Amino acid sequence: PLDRDQPNGRPQWRFTVFAQDEGGEGLVGYADVQVNLKDINDNAPIFPQGIYFGNVTENGTAGMVVMTMTAVDYDDPSEGTNARLIYSIEKNVIEEETGSPIFEIEPETGVIKTAVCCLDRERTPDYSIQVVAMDGGGLK
């Protein structure tokens, strides 16, 4: 099978064919052939590091930037939506008093922000959330 996508594939293959008549003893004809592979959604997005660490100051306002998540999808971004990524938080932390999620993510950019104000380091020094990247073909 031919693979189109990086890191080991190629989107285009070129080769030359020839034909010779009279049982291989006659005239020869040549043709250059170019095969362009169409992209299919055969690559799910990946987060290269697996685990990421962000920081935010305590007692800040809602909307403070914590970090930016960036996934990689080896499908072709210029052909269809197979490499178009949408980010979401699959497992968030909920604020006990209000029942509100503590973090939010911008779906198009992967920017994680605080969704509530006034995080208290003495009460909770760190949080763990799970972020998902989904491509235009539905792979996560």
Of 35, 2, 4, the residue nearest 17 (C-alpha): 35
Global confidence as pTM: 0.84
pLDDT at 115: 96
Tokens matching residue 133: 């990247």
pLDDT at 7: 82
pLDDT tens per residue across span 47-104: 999 899 999 999 999 999 999 999 999 998 888 899 999 999 999 999 988 999 999 9
pLDDT at 24: 82
Cβ atoms within 10 A of the Cβ of 72, count? 13
**Is residue 111 predicted with pLDDT exceeding 90?**
yes
